[in-house]
């Protein structure tokens, strides 16, 4: 192992902020950066993390652009570099994306990216994976949240048919942000009863598996039946919830039309509610799921 990668791993061991998925992705990215710097001619076997300078950042960005890496992926990689720069005490080393000629990512397309399961055979999934998928569909949970989901904790002492809200534990959630999601339908309560019956006072990770092992199984099984990474189920939840709250479809589903003042108020209120329920702290993010009324 190169000295630089060894140093990166030491930093990772001392800084375990973020979810398991975030930390795992961060480790893969830092390992990739070492490999790419080495291929660019830098002596990574002699470098320490503190040796990283602006020229190394520039070399990485040039390589990504030459390789045709998408803007979104480059921005994700820059986030990891900024995290690293902070940990080595060089937060000012990395400039804003515009300085490097990194374009703005187009988040809002008014394209329906929801994932529907009507034509998929969910019976091919193992019980724990299937139940996590169902919770993603019913409550818009992230994959990690749905896998780590403990119905006993989430119900807060209530039974599934009387609980008013679902409690998301900080250790399940991205950024460690706890939240509550209202339970509004019989199908949600049925899904919670099924999860409680399967998991008892445990989680939706089988007792004989680690999170990492079960994540591999989850990815294999969902990919095999056409579900992919299941993020489209969050889109589906957001769109269904929007209609429930407003009485009309969001732009990503129903297209754009002129809203009345009353509909504009409903739209803004619904977006704030959905942003909170999905675990986002920015209202603008809902445009990714719902689309925008300004895109005609």
The model's pLDDT over 33-53, given as tens digits with 9 standing for 90+, comes to 999 999 999 999 999 999 999
pLDDT(10) > 80: yes
Q: Once rounded to an integer, what is the mean pLDDT over residues 270-287? A: 90
CB 134 within 8 A of CB 198: no
Q: What is the predicted pLDDT for the residue at 231?
A: 92
User: What is the secondary structure of 26-87 as a DSSP string?
Assistant: HHHHHHHHHHHHHHTT--TTT--GGG--HHHHHHHHHHHHHTT--HHHHHHHHHHHHHHHHH
C-alpha–C-alpha distance, residues 26 and 83, integer Å: 9
pLDDT the model gives residue 107: 65
- Mean residue pLDDT across the chain: 92
Both tokens of residue 157? Answer: 């002492």
Task: Kindly list the distances between the CA atom of residue 175 and the CA atoms of 23, 26, 203, 280, in Å, as whole numbers in the listed order.
Answer: 11, 14, 20, 10
Per-residue pLDDT of 165-215, as tens digits, reads 999 999 999 878 899 999 999 999 999 999 999 999 999 999 999 999 999
Domain regions of the chain by residue span: 3-100, 122-224, 234-290
Confidence of residue 228 (pLDDT cuts 50, 70, 90): confident
Residue 122: closest CA among 31, 15, 194, 32: 194
Average pLDDT over residues 51-60: 94
Name, in order, each residue with C-beta under 8 angstroms of 60's C-beta and a sequence gap of 6 or more: 33, 36, 37, 40, 77, 81
Tell me, yes or no, if the pTM score tops 0.75. Answer: no
* Tokens describing residue 102: 């990194």
Give the H/E segment covering residue 23: helix 20-39
pLDDT tens-digit readout, 67-121: 888 888 898 899 999 999 999 999 999 998 889 888 766 667 788 999 989 889 9
The yes-or-no verdict on residue 281 having pLDDT over 80 is no
Of 199, 18, 229, nearest to 115 by C-alpha is 229
Residue 272 pLDDT: 96
């Amino acid at each position: 192992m190169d000295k630089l990668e060894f140093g990166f791993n030491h930093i990772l061991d001392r800084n375990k902020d973020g979810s398991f998925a975030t930390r795992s992705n961060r480790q893969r990215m830092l390992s990739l950066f070492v490999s790419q710097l080495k291929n660019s001619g830098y002596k990574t076997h002699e470098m320490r993390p503190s040796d990283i300078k602006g020229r190394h950042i520039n070399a990485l960005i040039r390589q990504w652009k030459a390789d045709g890496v998408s803007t979104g992926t480059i921005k994700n990689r820059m986030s990891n570099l900024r995290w690293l720069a902070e940990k080595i005490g060089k937060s000012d080393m990395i400039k804003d994306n515009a300085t490097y000629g990194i374009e703005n990512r187009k988040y809002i397309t008014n394209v329906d990216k929801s994932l529907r399961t009507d034509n998929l055979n969910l019976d091919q999934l193992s019980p724990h994976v299937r139940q996590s998928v169902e919770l993603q569909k019913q409550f818009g949970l992230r994959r990690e949240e749905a896998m780590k989901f403990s119905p006993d904790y989430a119900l807060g002492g209530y039974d599934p048919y009387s609980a008013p809200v679902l409690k998301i534990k900080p250790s399940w959630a991205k950024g460690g942000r706890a939240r509550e999601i209202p339970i509004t339908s019989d199908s949600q309560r049925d899904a919670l009863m099924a999860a409680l019956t399967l998991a008892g006072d445990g989680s939706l990770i089988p007792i004989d598996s680690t999170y990492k092992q079960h994540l591999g199984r989850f990815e294999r099984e969902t990919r095999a039946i056409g579900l992919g990474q299941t993020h489209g189920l969050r889109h589906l939840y957001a769109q269904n919830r929007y209609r429930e709250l407003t009485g009309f479809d969001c732009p990503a589903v129903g297209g754009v039309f002129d809203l009345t003042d009353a509909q504009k108020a409903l739209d803004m209120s619904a977006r704030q509610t959905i942003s909170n329920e999905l675990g986002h702290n920015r209202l603008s993010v809902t445009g990714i799921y719902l689309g925008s009324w300004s895109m005609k």
